[in-house]
């Protein structure tokens, strides 16, 4: 398919996903970087308890809560 055809389909609101190779797609700014944080034991226990209650990992809860807090800071 030529670029002009692709552009026309896109401009017309047609679904173009079948023409795109998403195997190497990524979202800029969302790359992962590992960090180490020391928490008091009571926090770890509370995080693990909440994670078990929700059926997710402690990492997931930490990321979610940080994202919510950062979003609030950014949007206020």
Q: Is the distance from CB of 19 to CB of 7 less than 8 angstroms?
A: no
pTM over 0.75: no
Which pLDDT score is estimated for 10?
93
Residue 44 has pLDDT above 90, yes or no: yes
CA distance linking residue 37 with residue 23, whole number of Å = 32
What share of the chain has pLDDT > 70, as a percent? 100
Which pLDDT score is estimated for 32?
87
Residue 40 has pLDDT above 90, yes or no: yes
56 or 76, which is more confident = 56
């Amino acid at each position: 398919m030529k670029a002009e055809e692709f552009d026309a389909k896109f401009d017309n609101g047609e679904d173009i996903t079948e023409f795109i190779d998403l195997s190497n797609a990524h979202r800029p700014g969302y790359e992962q970087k590992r960090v180490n944080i020391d928490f008091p034991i009571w926090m770890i226990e509370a995080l693990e308890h909440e994670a078990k209650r929700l059926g997710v990992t402690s990492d997931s809860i930490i990321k979610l809560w940080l994202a919510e807090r950062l979003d609030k800071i950014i949007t206020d």
